[in-house]
Protein backbone atom coordinates (compact mmCIF):
# COMPACT_ATOMS: atom_id res chain seq x y z
CA UNK A 1 0.00 0.00 0.00
CA UNK A 2 1.09 3.58 -0.53
CA UNK A 3 2.43 5.38 2.52
CA UNK A 4 0.02 7.43 4.58
CA UNK A 5 0.04 9.17 7.98
CA UNK A 6 -0.80 7.03 10.96
CA UNK A 7 -4.52 6.93 11.57
CA UNK A 8 -5.94 8.14 14.86
CA UNK A 9 -7.34 5.79 17.46
CA UNK A 10 -10.84 7.16 16.84
CA UNK A 11 -10.53 6.49 13.12
CA UNK A 12 -9.34 2.94 13.75
CA UNK A 13 -12.31 2.35 16.04
CA UNK A 14 -14.63 3.66 13.32
CA UNK A 15 -13.06 1.31 10.77
CA UNK A 16 -13.32 -1.58 13.24
CA UNK A 17 -17.02 -0.92 13.76
CA UNK A 18 -17.60 -0.84 10.00
CA UNK A 19 -15.66 -4.04 9.43
CA UNK A 20 -17.38 -5.93 12.26
CA UNK A 21 -20.87 -4.73 11.30
CA UNK A 22 -20.40 -6.09 7.77
CA UNK A 23 -18.11 -9.08 8.34
CA UNK A 24 -19.96 -10.86 11.16
CA UNK A 25 -23.32 -11.17 9.33
CA UNK A 26 -21.44 -12.02 6.11
CA UNK A 27 -19.69 -14.88 7.92
CA UNK A 28 -23.05 -16.21 9.13
CA UNK A 29 -24.45 -16.15 5.59
CA UNK A 30 -21.35 -17.85 4.18
CA UNK A 31 -21.54 -20.67 6.73
CA UNK A 32 -25.30 -21.12 6.19
CA UNK A 33 -24.94 -21.77 2.45
CA UNK A 34 -23.00 -25.10 2.69
CA UNK A 35 -25.60 -26.34 5.17
CA UNK A 36 -27.94 -26.86 2.20
CA UNK A 37 -25.80 -29.74 0.98
CA UNK A 38 -25.27 -31.07 4.51
CA UNK A 39 -29.02 -31.16 5.15
CA UNK A 40 -29.64 -32.90 1.83
CA UNK A 41 -26.88 -35.41 2.58
CA UNK A 42 -28.22 -36.20 6.04
CA UNK A 43 -31.73 -36.85 4.70
CA UNK A 44 -30.81 -38.65 1.49
CA UNK A 45 -28.18 -40.73 3.28
CA UNK A 46 -30.93 -42.72 4.98
CA UNK A 47 -32.35 -43.74 1.59
CA UNK A 48 -29.27 -45.78 0.72
CA UNK A 49 -25.63 -45.65 -0.36
CA UNK A 50 -26.44 -45.39 -4.08
CA UNK A 51 -28.74 -42.41 -3.49
CA UNK A 52 -26.14 -40.65 -1.36
CA UNK A 53 -23.45 -41.30 -3.96
CA UNK A 54 -25.74 -39.88 -6.65
CA UNK A 55 -26.38 -36.80 -4.54
CA UNK A 56 -22.65 -36.30 -4.03
CA UNK A 57 -21.94 -36.33 -7.75
CA UNK A 58 -24.86 -34.05 -8.63
CA UNK A 59 -24.02 -31.65 -5.78
CA UNK A 60 -20.43 -31.36 -7.00
CA UNK A 61 -21.63 -30.50 -10.51
CA UNK A 62 -24.17 -27.97 -9.23
CA UNK A 63 -21.65 -26.38 -6.87
CA UNK A 64 -19.20 -25.94 -9.73
CA UNK A 65 -21.88 -24.41 -11.97
CA UNK A 66 -22.88 -21.86 -9.34
CA UNK A 67 -19.39 -21.03 -8.03
CA UNK A 68 -18.19 -20.18 -11.54
CA UNK A 69 -20.65 -17.28 -11.52
CA UNK A 70 -19.71 -15.91 -8.09
CA UNK A 71 -18.55 -12.79 -9.94
CA UNK A 72 -22.24 -11.81 -9.97
CA UNK A 73 -21.88 -11.05 -6.27
CA UNK A 74 -18.36 -9.62 -6.35
CA UNK A 75 -18.70 -7.29 -9.33
CA UNK A 76 -22.14 -6.10 -8.26
CA UNK A 77 -20.93 -5.32 -4.72
CA UNK A 78 -18.12 -3.12 -6.04
CA UNK A 79 -20.26 -1.30 -8.61
CA UNK A 80 -23.14 -0.63 -6.23
CA UNK A 81 -20.85 0.46 -3.37
CA UNK A 82 -19.18 3.03 -5.65
CA UNK A 83 -22.53 4.53 -6.56
CA UNK A 84 -23.52 4.62 -2.89
CA UNK A 85 -20.28 6.40 -1.99
CA UNK A 86 -20.96 8.94 -4.72
CA UNK A 87 -24.43 9.58 -3.30
CA UNK A 88 -26.17 8.01 -6.31
CA UNK A 89 -28.42 5.46 -4.60
CA UNK A 90 -30.93 5.36 -7.45
CA UNK A 91 -28.18 4.58 -9.97
CA UNK A 92 -26.71 2.04 -7.53
CA UNK A 93 -29.95 0.07 -7.40
CA UNK A 94 -30.39 0.40 -11.16
CA UNK A 95 -26.91 -1.07 -11.64
CA UNK A 96 -27.79 -3.84 -9.22
CA UNK A 97 -30.88 -4.66 -11.27
CA UNK A 98 -28.67 -5.05 -14.34
CA UNK A 99 -26.69 -7.68 -12.42
CA UNK A 100 -29.89 -9.49 -11.46
CA UNK A 101 -31.11 -9.54 -15.06
CA UNK A 102 -27.72 -10.90 -16.12
CA UNK A 103 -28.08 -13.62 -13.48
CA UNK A 104 -31.46 -14.66 -14.88
CA UNK A 105 -30.08 -14.82 -18.43
CA UNK A 106 -27.06 -16.88 -17.35
CA UNK A 107 -29.29 -19.17 -15.29
CA UNK A 108 -31.55 -19.82 -18.26
CA UNK A 109 -28.48 -20.65 -20.33
CA UNK A 110 -27.20 -23.12 -17.72
CA UNK A 111 -30.58 -24.88 -17.56
CA UNK A 112 -30.61 -25.19 -21.35
CA UNK A 113 -27.17 -26.79 -21.19
CA UNK A 114 -27.63 -29.06 -18.17
CA UNK A 115 -31.04 -30.66 -18.82
CA UNK A 116 -30.14 -32.52 -22.04
CA UNK A 117 -26.53 -33.28 -21.01
CA UNK A 118 -27.19 -34.45 -17.41
CA UNK A 119 -26.54 -38.18 -18.12
CA UNK A 120 -23.29 -37.35 -19.93
CA UNK A 121 -22.10 -35.05 -17.13
CA UNK A 122 -22.85 -37.69 -14.51
CA UNK A 123 -20.96 -40.32 -16.52
CA UNK A 124 -18.07 -37.89 -16.96
CA UNK A 125 -17.75 -37.72 -13.17
CA UNK A 126 -17.40 -41.51 -13.05
CA UNK A 127 -20.72 -42.39 -11.43
CA UNK A 128 -21.35 -46.09 -10.91
CA UNK A 129 -24.23 -47.83 -12.67
CA UNK A 130 -26.24 -47.85 -9.44
CA UNK A 131 -25.60 -44.20 -8.53
CA UNK A 132 -25.92 -42.69 -12.02
CA UNK A 133 -29.77 -42.75 -12.26
CA UNK A 134 -30.09 -40.99 -8.89
CA UNK A 135 -27.42 -38.44 -9.81
CA UNK A 136 -29.17 -37.70 -13.12
CA UNK A 137 -32.56 -37.29 -11.46
CA UNK A 138 -31.20 -34.95 -8.78
CA UNK A 139 -29.16 -32.94 -11.28
CA UNK A 140 -32.01 -32.38 -13.73
CA UNK A 141 -34.47 -31.27 -11.06
CA UNK A 142 -31.97 -29.15 -9.13
CA UNK A 143 -30.84 -27.41 -12.32
CA UNK A 144 -34.20 -25.62 -12.22
CA UNK A 145 -32.96 -23.83 -9.12
CA UNK A 146 -29.74 -22.52 -10.70
CA UNK A 147 -31.31 -19.24 -11.96
CA UNK A 148 -32.59 -18.66 -8.43
CA UNK A 149 -29.13 -19.20 -6.95
CA UNK A 150 -27.56 -16.83 -9.47
CA UNK A 151 -30.20 -14.23 -8.61
CA UNK A 152 -29.30 -14.77 -4.95
CA UNK A 153 -25.63 -14.10 -5.80
CA UNK A 154 -26.40 -10.90 -7.70
CA UNK A 155 -28.94 -9.63 -5.15
CA UNK A 156 -26.52 -10.39 -2.33
CA UNK A 157 -24.01 -8.21 -4.17
CA UNK A 158 -26.58 -5.42 -4.37
CA UNK A 159 -27.25 -5.50 -0.64
CA UNK A 160 -23.57 -5.76 0.26
CA UNK A 161 -22.92 -2.74 -1.94
CA UNK A 162 -25.66 -0.93 -0.02
CA UNK A 163 -23.67 -1.84 3.15
CA UNK A 164 -26.28 -4.41 4.23
CA UNK A 165 -24.98 -7.87 5.13
CA UNK A 166 -27.68 -8.61 7.71
CA UNK A 167 -30.47 -9.25 5.20
CA UNK A 168 -28.40 -11.92 3.35
CA UNK A 169 -27.80 -13.60 6.72
CA UNK A 170 -31.52 -13.67 7.54
CA UNK A 171 -32.41 -14.99 4.08
CA UNK A 172 -29.68 -17.66 4.22
CA UNK A 173 -30.83 -18.93 7.62
CA UNK A 174 -34.49 -18.95 6.55
CA UNK A 175 -33.55 -20.72 3.33
CA UNK A 176 -31.61 -23.40 5.19
CA UNK A 177 -34.50 -24.07 7.58
CA UNK A 178 -37.03 -24.19 4.73
CA UNK A 179 -34.76 -26.53 2.77
CA UNK A 180 -34.43 -28.95 5.69
CA UNK A 181 -38.20 -29.04 6.35
CA UNK A 182 -39.12 -29.40 2.67
CA UNK A 183 -36.56 -32.13 2.12
CA UNK A 184 -37.82 -34.19 5.02
CA UNK A 185 -41.47 -33.69 4.01
CA UNK A 186 -40.98 -34.54 0.34
CA UNK A 187 -38.45 -37.36 0.74
CA UNK A 188 -40.26 -39.22 3.52
CA UNK A 189 -43.71 -37.64 3.91
CA UNK A 190 -44.50 -37.64 0.17
CA UNK A 191 -42.24 -40.67 -0.46
CA UNK A 192 -40.54 -39.00 -3.45
CA UNK A 193 -37.06 -40.25 -2.61
CA UNK A 194 -34.09 -38.35 -3.98
CA UNK A 195 -36.37 -36.42 -6.34
CA UNK A 196 -38.13 -35.03 -3.25
CA UNK A 197 -34.81 -33.77 -1.92
CA UNK A 198 -34.10 -32.01 -5.21
CA UNK A 199 -37.56 -30.41 -5.36
CA UNK A 200 -37.28 -29.27 -1.74
CA UNK A 201 -33.98 -27.55 -2.48
CA UNK A 202 -35.34 -25.92 -5.66
CA UNK A 203 -38.38 -24.56 -3.81
CA UNK A 204 -36.17 -23.19 -1.01
CA UNK A 205 -33.80 -21.58 -3.54
CA UNK A 206 -36.62 -19.83 -5.39
CA UNK A 207 -38.03 -18.73 -2.05
CA UNK A 208 -34.67 -17.12 -1.22
CA UNK A 209 -34.54 -15.44 -4.63
CA UNK A 210 -38.09 -14.12 -4.15
CA UNK A 211 -37.18 -12.70 -0.73
CA UNK A 212 -34.18 -10.88 -2.20
CA UNK A 213 -36.23 -9.54 -5.10
CA UNK A 214 -38.85 -8.17 -2.71
CA UNK A 215 -36.14 -6.26 -0.84
CA UNK A 216 -34.48 -4.94 -4.00
CA UNK A 217 -37.78 -4.01 -5.67
CA UNK A 218 -38.84 -2.07 -2.57
CA UNK A 219 -35.56 -0.19 -2.67
CA UNK A 220 -35.99 0.52 -6.38
CA UNK A 221 -39.46 1.94 -5.84
CA UNK A 222 -38.30 4.02 -2.88
CA UNK A 223 -35.59 5.69 -4.96
CA UNK A 224 -37.41 5.67 -8.30
CA UNK A 225 -35.05 3.21 -10.01
CA UNK A 226 -36.26 1.39 -13.12
CA UNK A 227 -36.77 -2.37 -12.89
CA UNK A 228 -36.83 -3.03 -16.62
CA UNK A 229 -33.89 -4.79 -18.29
CA UNK A 230 -31.38 -2.49 -19.94
CA UNK A 231 -29.23 -4.10 -22.64
CA UNK A 232 -26.35 -1.67 -22.18
CA UNK A 233 -26.37 -2.10 -18.42
CA UNK A 234 -26.47 -5.90 -18.67
CA UNK A 235 -23.53 -5.83 -21.09
CA UNK A 236 -21.61 -3.57 -18.71
CA UNK A 237 -22.27 -5.99 -15.84
CA UNK A 238 -21.02 -8.90 -17.96
CA UNK A 239 -17.90 -6.99 -18.97
CA UNK A 240 -17.14 -6.09 -15.34
CA UNK A 241 -17.60 -9.71 -14.32
CA UNK A 242 -15.53 -11.30 -17.10
CA UNK A 243 -12.11 -10.74 -15.46
CA UNK A 244 -13.44 -12.11 -12.17
CA UNK A 245 -14.70 -15.17 -14.06
CA UNK A 246 -11.14 -15.74 -15.31
CA UNK A 247 -9.89 -15.35 -11.72
CA UNK A 248 -12.44 -17.85 -10.42
CA UNK A 249 -11.75 -20.42 -13.14
CA UNK A 250 -7.99 -20.15 -12.47
CA UNK A 251 -8.57 -20.74 -8.76
CA UNK A 252 -10.83 -23.73 -9.50
CA UNK A 253 -8.09 -25.12 -11.77
CA UNK A 254 -5.57 -24.85 -8.91
CA UNK A 255 -7.87 -26.80 -6.57
CA UNK A 256 -8.55 -29.45 -9.22
CA UNK A 257 -4.82 -29.89 -9.91
CA UNK A 258 -4.15 -30.25 -6.18
CA UNK A 259 -6.83 -32.94 -5.89
CA UNK A 260 -5.52 -34.77 -8.97
CA UNK A 261 -1.99 -34.77 -7.54
CA UNK A 262 -3.25 -36.01 -4.17
CA UNK A 263 -5.06 -38.86 -5.93
CA UNK A 264 -1.75 -39.94 -7.50
CA UNK A 265 -0.13 -40.12 -4.05
CA UNK A 266 -2.37 -42.97 -2.88
CA UNK A 267 -5.68 -43.69 -1.18
CA UNK A 268 -4.59 -42.52 2.28
CA UNK A 269 -3.26 -39.25 0.88
CA UNK A 270 -6.33 -38.42 -1.18
CA UNK A 271 -8.56 -39.21 1.81
CA UNK A 272 -6.44 -36.97 4.04
CA UNK A 273 -6.41 -34.28 1.35
CA UNK A 274 -10.21 -34.18 1.21
CA UNK A 275 -10.38 -33.77 4.99
CA UNK A 276 -7.84 -30.96 4.94
CA UNK A 277 -9.51 -29.29 1.98
CA UNK A 278 -12.81 -29.28 3.88
CA UNK A 279 -11.13 -27.60 6.84
CA UNK A 280 -9.32 -25.16 4.56
CA UNK A 281 -12.66 -24.18 3.02
CA UNK A 282 -14.17 -23.64 6.45
CA UNK A 283 -11.27 -21.39 7.48
CA UNK A 284 -11.71 -19.51 4.22
CA UNK A 285 -15.27 -18.58 5.21
CA UNK A 286 -13.99 -16.66 8.25
CA UNK A 287 -11.37 -14.81 6.19
CA UNK A 288 -13.74 -14.24 3.27
CA UNK A 289 -16.14 -12.43 5.61
CA UNK A 290 -13.47 -9.74 6.12
CA UNK A 291 -12.91 -9.65 2.36
CA UNK A 292 -16.63 -9.06 1.78
CA UNK A 293 -16.53 -6.16 4.22
CA UNK A 294 -13.54 -4.87 2.23
CA UNK A 295 -15.43 -5.01 -1.06
CA UNK A 296 -18.30 -2.94 0.31
CA UNK A 297 -16.28 -0.40 2.30
CA UNK A 298 -13.54 0.22 -0.29
CA UNK A 299 -16.07 0.68 -3.09
CA UNK A 300 -17.95 3.25 -0.99
CA UNK A 301 -14.80 5.22 -0.13
CA UNK A 302 -13.62 5.35 -3.74
CA UNK A 303 -17.09 6.36 -4.92
CA UNK A 304 -16.91 9.24 -2.44
CA UNK A 305 -13.47 10.28 -3.84
CA UNK A 306 -11.84 9.51 -0.47
CA UNK A 307 -8.55 7.84 -1.36
CA UNK A 308 -7.09 8.47 2.09
CA UNK A 309 -10.03 6.73 3.71
CA UNK A 310 -9.61 3.81 1.30
CA UNK A 311 -5.90 3.53 2.18
CA UNK A 312 -6.59 3.70 5.90
CA UNK A 313 -9.33 1.07 5.90
CA UNK A 314 -7.24 -1.17 3.65
CA UNK A 315 -4.38 -1.00 6.14
CA UNK A 316 -6.72 -1.74 9.03
CA UNK A 317 -8.29 -4.71 7.26
CA UNK A 318 -4.85 -6.17 6.55
CA UNK A 319 -4.20 -6.02 10.29
CA UNK A 320 -7.52 -7.80 10.85
CA UNK A 321 -6.60 -10.42 8.26
CA UNK A 322 -3.22 -11.15 9.84
CA UNK A 323 -4.72 -11.36 13.34
CA UNK A 324 -7.53 -13.64 12.18
CA UNK A 325 -4.99 -15.82 10.35
CA UNK A 326 -2.81 -16.17 13.45
CA UNK A 327 -5.81 -17.09 15.61
CA UNK A 328 -7.14 -19.62 13.08
CA UNK A 329 -3.69 -21.13 12.61
CA UNK A 330 -3.28 -21.57 16.37
CA UNK A 331 -6.72 -23.22 16.58
CA UNK A 332 -5.75 -25.69 13.85
CA UNK A 333 -2.52 -26.61 15.63
CA UNK A 334 -4.24 -27.12 18.98
CA UNK A 335 -7.24 -29.01 17.58
CA UNK A 336 -5.39 -31.34 15.18
CA UNK A 337 -5.47 -34.41 17.44
CA UNK A 338 -9.19 -34.00 18.14
CA UNK A 339 -10.18 -32.90 14.64
CA UNK A 340 -8.99 -35.88 12.61
CA UNK A 341 -10.86 -38.64 14.52
CA UNK A 342 -14.11 -36.89 13.57
CA UNK A 343 -13.46 -37.90 9.96
CA UNK A 344 -11.39 -41.07 10.03
CA UNK A 345 -10.13 -43.87 12.21
CA UNK A 346 -7.54 -44.95 9.65
CA UNK A 347 -4.05 -44.52 11.08
CA UNK A 348 -2.51 -44.09 7.61
CA UNK A 349 -4.87 -41.21 6.83
CA UNK A 350 -4.10 -39.55 10.16
CA UNK A 351 -0.35 -39.94 9.61
CA UNK A 352 -0.65 -38.26 6.20
CA UNK A 353 -2.88 -35.46 7.48
CA UNK A 354 -1.13 -34.42 10.70
CA UNK A 355 2.03 -32.83 9.23
CA UNK A 356 0.07 -31.36 6.31
CA UNK A 357 -2.32 -29.72 8.79
CA UNK A 358 0.65 -28.04 10.43
CA UNK A 359 1.56 -26.51 7.06
CA UNK A 360 -2.04 -25.32 6.66
CA UNK A 361 -1.92 -23.73 10.12
CA UNK A 362 1.31 -21.86 9.42
CA UNK A 363 -0.16 -20.57 6.14
CA UNK A 364 -3.22 -18.94 7.74
CA UNK A 365 -1.67 -15.47 8.33
CA UNK A 366 -0.70 -15.42 4.65
CA UNK A 367 -4.25 -16.47 3.75
CA UNK A 368 -5.58 -13.65 5.91
CA UNK A 369 -3.63 -11.06 3.93
CA UNK A 370 -4.60 -12.64 0.60
CA UNK A 371 -8.32 -12.69 1.32
CA UNK A 372 -8.33 -9.11 2.55
CA UNK A 373 -6.35 -7.66 -0.36
CA UNK A 374 -8.40 -9.71 -2.81
CA UNK A 375 -11.52 -8.09 -1.33
CA UNK A 376 -9.95 -4.64 -1.43
CA UNK A 377 -9.07 -4.88 -5.12
CA UNK A 378 -12.50 -6.35 -5.93
CA UNK A 379 -14.10 -3.44 -4.13
CA UNK A 380 -11.96 -1.11 -6.21
CA UNK A 381 -13.18 -2.81 -9.39
CA UNK A 382 -9.64 -3.91 -10.24
CA UNK A 383 -10.82 -7.13 -11.90
CA UNK A 384 -8.39 -7.20 -14.85
CA UNK A 385 -5.38 -7.15 -12.52
CA UNK A 386 -6.91 -9.88 -10.35
CA UNK A 387 -7.40 -12.03 -13.46
CA UNK A 388 -3.79 -11.65 -14.61
CA UNK A 389 -2.45 -12.17 -11.08
CA UNK A 390 -4.38 -15.43 -10.68
CA UNK A 391 -3.25 -16.68 -14.09
CA UNK A 392 0.34 -15.99 -13.04
CA UNK A 393 -0.26 -17.84 -9.78
CA UNK A 394 -1.67 -20.81 -11.70
CA UNK A 395 1.42 -20.80 -13.93
CA UNK A 396 3.73 -20.95 -10.89
CA UNK A 397 1.70 -23.51 -8.94
CA UNK A 398 1.08 -26.05 -11.69
CA UNK A 399 4.66 -27.26 -12.36
CA UNK A 400 5.50 -27.23 -8.64
CA UNK A 401 2.44 -29.32 -7.76
CA UNK A 402 3.03 -31.78 -10.61
CA UNK A 403 6.59 -32.36 -9.34
CA UNK A 404 5.38 -33.48 -5.90
CA UNK A 405 4.82 -37.16 -6.84
CA UNK A 406 8.26 -37.24 -8.46
CA UNK A 407 10.34 -35.56 -5.76
CA UNK A 408 8.53 -37.07 -2.78
CA UNK A 409 7.25 -35.46 0.39
CA UNK A 410 3.71 -36.74 -0.01
CA UNK A 411 0.74 -34.70 1.09
CA UNK A 412 2.86 -32.37 3.20
CA UNK A 413 4.81 -31.36 0.09
CA UNK A 414 1.56 -30.80 -1.82
CA UNK A 415 0.25 -28.47 0.87
CA UNK A 416 3.62 -26.74 0.90
CA UNK A 417 2.96 -26.11 -2.81
CA UNK A 418 -0.47 -24.74 -1.83
CA UNK A 419 1.28 -22.43 0.64
CA UNK A 420 3.59 -21.30 -2.15
CA UNK A 421 0.51 -20.59 -4.25
CA UNK A 422 -0.99 -18.41 -1.50
CA UNK A 423 2.36 -16.65 -1.03
CA UNK A 424 2.52 -15.81 -4.74
CA UNK A 425 -1.01 -14.45 -4.52
CA UNK A 426 -0.04 -12.36 -1.50
CA UNK A 427 2.97 -10.89 -3.29
CA UNK A 428 1.03 -10.00 -6.44
CA UNK A 429 -1.78 -8.41 -4.44
CA UNK A 430 0.60 -6.58 -2.11
CA UNK A 431 2.55 -5.12 -5.04
CA UNK A 432 -0.70 -3.81 -6.54
CA UNK A 433 -1.95 -2.21 -3.34
CA UNK A 434 1.46 -0.63 -2.72
CA UNK A 435 1.41 0.90 -6.20
CA UNK A 436 -1.81 2.84 -5.54
CA UNK A 437 -3.03 2.16 -9.08
CA UNK A 438 -6.21 0.63 -7.69
CA UNK A 439 -7.22 3.98 -6.17
CA UNK A 440 -9.50 5.03 -9.02
CA UNK A 441 -12.25 7.28 -7.67
CA UNK A 442 -15.70 8.20 -8.93
CA UNK A 443 -19.15 6.67 -9.26
CA UNK A 444 -17.83 4.34 -11.98
CA UNK A 445 -14.37 2.96 -12.56
pLDDT at residue 339 tops 90: no
- Per-residue pLDDT, 196: 96
Distances, alpha carbon 90 to alpha carbons 116, 220, 221, 322, in Å: 41, 7, 9, 37
Cβ atoms within 10 Å, residue 133: 16
- Quick one: average pLDDT of 251-268? 87
Q: What is the dihedral of CA 104, 110, 115, 120, to 10 degrees?
A: -170
Distances, alpha carbon 439 to alpha carbons 78, 84, 308, 425, in Å: 13, 17, 9, 20
- Categorize the per-residue pLDDT at 263 as very low, low, confident or very high, splitting at 50, 70 and 90: confident
- Per-residue pLDDT, 186: 96
- Quick one: average pLDDT of 171-184? 92
- Quick one: average pLDDT of 423-440? 96
pTM: 0.88
Could you tell me which residue, 38 or 166, shows the higher pLDDT? 166
Cβ atoms within 10 Å, residue 228: 7
pLDDT at residue 68 tops 90: no
- Per-residue pLDDT, 4: 44
- Categorize the per-residue pLDDT at 3 as very low, low, confident or very high, splitting at 50, 70 and 90: very low
- Quick one: average pLDDT of 231-257? 92
- Categorize the per-residue pLDDT at 7 as very low, low, confident or very high, splitting at 50, 70 and 90: low
pLDDT at residue 78 tops 90: yes
- Per-residue pLDDT, 33: 66
Could you tell me which residue, 14 or 365, shows the higher pLDDT? 365
pLDDT at residue 213 tops 80: yes
| Per-residue pLDDT reduced to its tens digit, 80-137 | 999 999 999 999 999 999 999 999 999 999 999 999 999 999 888 777 889 899 999 9
pLDDT at residue 342 tops 90: no
Average pLDDT of the chain is: 90
- Quick one: average pLDDT of 237-262? 91
Are the C-beta atoms of 160 and 168 separated by less than 8 Å? yes
Amino acid sequence: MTQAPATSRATRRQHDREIVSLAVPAFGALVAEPLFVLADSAIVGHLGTAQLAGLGIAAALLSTAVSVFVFLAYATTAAVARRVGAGETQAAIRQGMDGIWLALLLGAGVITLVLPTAPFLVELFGASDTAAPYATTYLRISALGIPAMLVVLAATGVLRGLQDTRTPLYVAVAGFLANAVLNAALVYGADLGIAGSAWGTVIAQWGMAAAYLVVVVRGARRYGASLRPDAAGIRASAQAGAPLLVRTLSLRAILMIATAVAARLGDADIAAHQIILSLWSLLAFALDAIAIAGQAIIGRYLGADDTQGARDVCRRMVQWGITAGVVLGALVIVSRPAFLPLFTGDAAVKDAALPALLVVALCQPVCGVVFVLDGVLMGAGDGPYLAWAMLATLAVFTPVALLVPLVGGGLTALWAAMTLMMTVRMVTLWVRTRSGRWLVTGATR
